[in-house]
């Protein structure tokens, strides 16, 4: 098993662990952190492939993804705080009526 395969396997494992976390955890903030875990897994695969191909463009893309992730968190956290203020809980089940 060479280096690239090892890193891609790690990226897959991190992505699927994050997905599992988003499905099974109850706390909204923990679900958000699991999404970050998924994003980290995808980033790892992107860096691995960029390094493999010797493409500096991949690194530029990773930088832009970091900025987008920061913007995403800057929006997501106020939304979570707004939800908590309304229902006084972080339990995702308390918002089940949102499914319409």
Partner 1 sequence: MLESLLAHLDTILLVVFGVSALVGGVLVIVLRQPMRVAMALISTMVFLGGIYGLLGVHFIAAFQVLIYVGAVMVFMVYVIMLLDTRDPAQSRRFSPLVVPGAIAFVLFLGALVYGVAGGLPEAAPAAKAGGSFGLTEFAVAFLNEYWLHFELTSVLLLAAVVAAVAVIKASKADHG
Residues 2-41 that bind partner 1 (CB under 8 A): 3-10, 12-14, 16-21, 23-30, 32-34, 36-37, 40
CB of 23 or CB of 98, closer to partner 1: 23
Binders of partner 1 among residues 51 to 70 (CB under 8 A) are: 51-57, 59-60, 62-64, 66-70
CA 81 – CA 6 distance, rounded (Å): 39
For partner 1, the binding residue among 42, 90, 98, 99 (CB under 8 A) is 90
Question: Shortest CA distance to 9 belongs to which of 53, 61, 44, 55?
Answer: 44
Told to check if 42 binds partner 1 by CB under 8 A, we report no
Phi-psi region of 80 (alpha: psi -120 to 50; beta: other; left: phi over 0): alpha
Q: Quick one: DSSP state of residue 88? A: S
């Amino acid at each position: 098993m060479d280096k690239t395969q090892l890193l891609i396997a790690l990226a897959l494992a991190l992505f699927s662990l994050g997905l599992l976390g988003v499905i099974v955890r109850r706390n909204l903030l923990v679900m958000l952190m699991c999404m970050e875990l998924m994003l980290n897994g995808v980033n790892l695969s992107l860096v691995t492939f960029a390094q493999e191909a010797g493409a500096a463009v991949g690194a530029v893309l990773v930088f832009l993804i970091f900025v987008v992730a920061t913007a995403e968190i800057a929006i997501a956290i106020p939304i979570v705080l707004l939800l908590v203020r309304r229902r006084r809980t972080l339990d995702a089940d308390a918002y089940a009526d949102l499914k319409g």
